[in-house]
Amino acid sequence: MGQADVNVNLWLKDTKRFADLFNAILFHGETVILPENLHPSPETTAVSLQDAQGKNVVKKLYRDIIMNWQDQAVLMLLAVESQTAIHYAAPLKVMLYDSMEYAEQVRVKWKERPPRLSSAEFLSRFQKNDKLIPVITLIFYYGTEEWDGPLELHQMFDLGTEKNHAELMKKYLPNYHINLVDVRRLKNLESFQSDLQ
């Protein structure tokens, strides 16, 4: 991470700016997320996986900014990945970060499991009525060039030249899109209430 990203991250960690960013992008300027309902979350996400030899290997990823948003019954994780350069694997990067957050939630729930589980719950390491906390990640792109990278995982695949076959395959290939905030090309600046405008 370059010094510019560090400075942008420190600037965006202010809960008023962070709330304003998400309110402007998600809710078109309506004040839904209040700064006092945002709380920093650990920026390191780790997951333990088994390698081919059966050894546990810990993989860590470092988020730029992630906060818990707790508002009455709503609990969400809101994350920002700042980019000064175009990231041509951004859908994969965000999918991995978000997936690791979800995997960590499953791991924590498994540690809190009751003594009696169905065989399916034991196999899943997740109970039938368990729910995950949603994660929304924004890519805060402030580079000078117009973003020409993929906005979804499907755009990273080469499915051949036969259009009919490609469209059929896309139905079975999971997709993952990114939420890009290209700050130099934003419209509706009146949606912002802070100095983000």
Write down the pLDDT at residue 138. 96
Write down the pLDDT at residue 143. 92
Which range of residues forms the domain containing residue 53?
3-191
Query: What average pLDDT does this structure show over 22-29?
Result: 92
pLDDT digits (tens, 9 = 90+) for 38-85: 998 878 777 777 777 878 888 788 889 999 999 877 789 999 999 999
Only one residue has tokens 């117009």, namely 146
Q: Do 193 and 31 touch, CB atoms closer than 8 A? A: yes
pLDDT digits (tens, 9 = 90+) for 115-137: 788 888 888 888 788 889 999 99
Phi, psi dihedral angles at 187 (to 5 degrees): -110, 170
Residue 197 lies in a domain: no
Residue 65 lies in a domain: yes
Please name the residues in contact with 46: beta carbons below 8 A apart, sequence gap of 6 or more: 58, 59, 60, 61, 100, 104
Token pair listed for 54: 């059966």
Residue type, 70: Q
Picking from 134, 140, 168, 163, the residue whose alpha carbon sits closest to that of residue 8 is 140
In total, how many domains does the chain have?
1
| Average pLDDT, rounded, for the chain | 87
Write down the pLDDT at residue 3. 63
Residue 28 lies in a domain: yes
Residue 70 lies in a domain: yes
Task: Look at residue 146 and give its three-state secondary structure.
Answer: coil
Give the chain's length: 197
Residue 172 lies in a domain: yes
Q: How many CB atoms lie within 10 A of CB 125?
A: 14
Residue type, 77: L
Residue 90 lies in a domain: yes
Residue 196 lies in a domain: no
Write down the pLDDT at residue 41. 86
Residue 116 lies in a domain: yes
pLDDT level of residue 2 (50, 70, 90 thresholds): low
The CA distances from residue 186 to 107, 141, 165, in Å, are 38, 11, 36
Q: What is the DSSP letter of 152?
A: B
Q: Which residue has better confidence, 1 or 48?
A: 48
pLDDT level of residue 17 (50, 70, 90 thresholds): very high
Does position 161 have pLDDT exceeding 80, yes or no? no
Token pair listed for 103: 């995997």
Q: How many CB atoms lie within 10 A of CB 154?
A: 17
Write down the pLDDT at residue 97. 92
Task: Specify the pTM.
Answer: 0.85
Measured distance CA(141)–CA(153) in Å, rounded: 18
